[in-house]
A and B are shown apart, each in its own frame.
Chain A
Amino acid sequence: MHRSRILVVDDEEIMRSSLSDWLREDGYDVVAVENGYKALDKIKSEEWDLAVVDLKMPKMDGIEVLKKVNQIRPRLPVIIITAYATIDSAVMAMKEGATDYIVKPFNPEEISRVIGKLVEHQRLLKENIRLRRALAKRFKFQDLVGKSPKMLRVIEMIKTVAPTKSTVLIRGESGTGKELVARAIHELGPRKKLPFIAAACGAMPESLLEAELFGYEKGAFTGAVSQHKGWIEMADKGTLLLDEIGDISLKTQVDLLRFLQEREFHRIGGKAPISIDVRIIAATNKGLEDMIAQGAFREDLYYRLNVITIEVPPLRERKEDIPILVEHFIEKCSLDTGKTIDGISEPAMKAIMEYNWPGNIRQLENAIEHAVVIADDVEIQLEHLPHQFSAKVLRGYEIKPDVPLEVIERAHILHVLDANDWHIKRAATILGINRVTLYNKIKKYDLRKKKEGQ
């Protein structure tokens, strides 16, 4: 365990050794010096949790040391000690920022309490700073990593739309970071201190989605044992992300359109209309225009949502961002797992660059997380990466320059599904996509489980 470090500054040897001995018995790491100059050198060059400084010292007195410490290390608590206490010196010390002023010899109870309290305060302060840093790393605008022109355009667009109240439609393939873009718009806008609610519209049946979106009154349907606030209500004054908007039913589209027009809605089973001030962001990986043509998506809802569009490019179209994304995910995963991974070997990076990343950034993040967890080295090696995207497996699909991506994607998904006996959750994890996306791909490519004997 880390021992708190205390610097003792006193010109009298007997005082220095006596105080140091006592503090050492208390388990502190103590260094004692005889004058202010040496003390300032120590404070400049080393980390301390507390300084105990004698008031009366030749050449540079305790107050002078205190003033200098406040300039060099303003957060370091300083206790002024003296055998010649006066009200003037006590007032002066406190005015200059001393944490405490104690008269020598000390009452054991008093000094133990004062030092214990300050050291604990310093420990909490340091922990707070560490946690804040860790938290800041968890989500920040810089999570939208990228230097490619396409990504820079996205970032520029986010900055432009964030301060406004306009509805935004974010489009992009699955795993490109649409939710991250929505969060960035929220974080950079005036509503950043208010709720951000991400409503996953594609993952649930119509009735459940309506209940989650609009909420319900007690007794509205079987099982509604108490009143329930919906996502729209929870996002009041904040931002509501309607994720996978292309997957909602026509009935829900009508209800949603009504809400978007009037900014009012009723809880299911409720009579009184509820007015809500919420910024709407919608996201989809579907071609909404095609859906309109097929009658699967309402045109009026489309125009309501499509006020400002942000296209998030797939990873294969911004491969130049891969190295910094890899670095970013290694840092993030190392922090989460407590491992010290410094980087990635050249063959591993080459394999990552050559891969097409159908699952986009989410798949890349999963692959790096997998590698960080597996890695027994300070550097990620090729064998640490998930097997499904290694060159060996890809060769099985006969990659040729004239093969469309969809053919490879179809074959690979089918291969993974078959290898996992069509266990959807397991296959989705291996593919680095979520279950809904996998179901969509199965539907899109019309994939079927082989019958016995086939």
Chain B
Amino acid sequence: MRHIYVKTIGTVEAAIVERVLESLSTLTLNPLKLAAHDEYPLFAFEPKRNQYYAKKIIENLAGELPADCEKLIGLTDIDLCTPVLTFVYGEAQLGGSVAIVSFNRLRQEFYYLPRNDTLLIERITKECVHELGHCYGLFHCNDSRCVMCFSSSILSIDNKRKNFCIGCKGFFDTARRKENYASK
């Protein structure tokens, strides 16, 4: 079975990444593997907005995928955006191989609240599963408790679970089986 690679980008706390991997490994995904660390993606920096374009980072990551990689997910602390959205918690290639999740706005400190690592790990896990869902071709879900529900605010992330609803789970399992079969 091919791996889901996790790649850290920029300055990321190792302890947090370790706990995220632990949390992700409890979900029924392909085996996880840590890829080599990447420096700050300055090519994606937009000085006018003081943010990084998520899509540019994704395109860069997609160019260097390991052979045994089914999906690659980048974890970073930088603030991500897209040309049309003021910010994104994460971004993925719909039906593609690469996704990225930013811790930046998932931290309690961003909202001037005391640090809470447990909550941060839970939010990162949810966003990772959400973006991986897009990589397997899943759309946003109308069920506000499903991990595939679109989160426009931190409250909506906290409201949803880290699992798929029955409908999304069925779609996800089918898509995964297809990919695993195709790679054999």
Contacts and interface: CB of A to CB of B under 8 A. Distances in A.
Interface in B52-70: 55
Contacts of A25: 92, 94, 134, 139-140, 150
B1 to A, nearest CB: 26
Interface SS majority for chain A: helix
A21 to B, nearest CB: 7
A330 to B, nearest CB: 37
A106 B85 contact: yes
Q: Of B83, B92, B140, which is in contact with the most chain A CB atoms at under 10 Å from its CB?
A: B83
A19 B85 CA distance: 8
Interface string A225-268: 00000000000000000000000000000000000000000000
Interface string A1-38: 00000000000101100110110111100000000000
Contacts of B49: 105
A338 interface: no
A398 interface: no
A112 B83 contact: no
A22 B91 CA distance: 9
Interface SS majority for chain B: loop
Nearest to B88: A108
B97 to A, nearest CB: 15
B85 A22 contact: yes
A24 B93 CA distance: 11
B84 A18 contact: yes
Contacts of B26: none
B94 A24 contact: yes
B83 A105 contact: yes
B139 A26 contact: yes
B87 interface: yes
Contacts of B81: 105
A108 B86 contact: yes
A111 interface: yes
B180 interface: no
Interface residues of B, number: 18
Nearest to B140: A26
B183 interface: no
A294 interface: no
A104 interface: yes
Contact of B86 (A15, A105, A112): A105
Contacts of B140: 25-27
Nearest to B133: A25
Contact of B152 (A14, A19, A27, A112): A112
Interface in B13-57: 49, 55
A106 B83 CA distance: 9
Contact of A15 (B83, B87, B134, B152): B83
A12 B83 CA distance: 10
Contacts of B87: 108
B150 A104 contact: no
Given A21-B94, A25-B94, A112-B150, A106 B139 contact: no
Nearest to A20: B84
Contacts of B92: 25
A21 B58 CA distance: 13
A109 interface: yes
B83 A14 contact: yes
A60 B85 CA distance: 25
B152 A108 contact: yes
A96 to B, nearest CB: 23
B51 to A, nearest CB: 10
Nearest to B82: A18
A137 to B, nearest CB: 32
Interface in B124-147: 134, 139-140
A45 interface: no
A18 B94 CA distance: 12
Contacts of B153: 109
A118 to B, nearest CB: 16
A22 B86 contact: no
Nearest to B131: A25
Nearest to A108: B152
Given A25-B134, A27-B139, A112-B150, A107 B94 contact: no
B94 A111 contact: no
B129 to A, nearest CB: 14
A15 B84 contact: yes
Nearest to B93: A21
Contacts of B152: 107-109, 112-113
A111 B81 CA distance: 14
Given A18-B55, A21-B94, A111 B85 contact: yes
11 contacts: A22-B84, A24-B94, A25-B92, A25-B139, A26-B139, A105-B83, A107-B86, A108-B85, A108-B150, A111-B85, A112-B152
Interface of A: 12, 14-15, 18-19, 21-22, 24-27, 104-109, 111-113
Given A24-B139, A25-B139, 5 more contacts: A18-B84, A21-B55, A104-B83, A106-B84, A113-B152
Closest 4 CB pairs of A and B: A27-B139, A109-B152, A18-B83, A108-B152
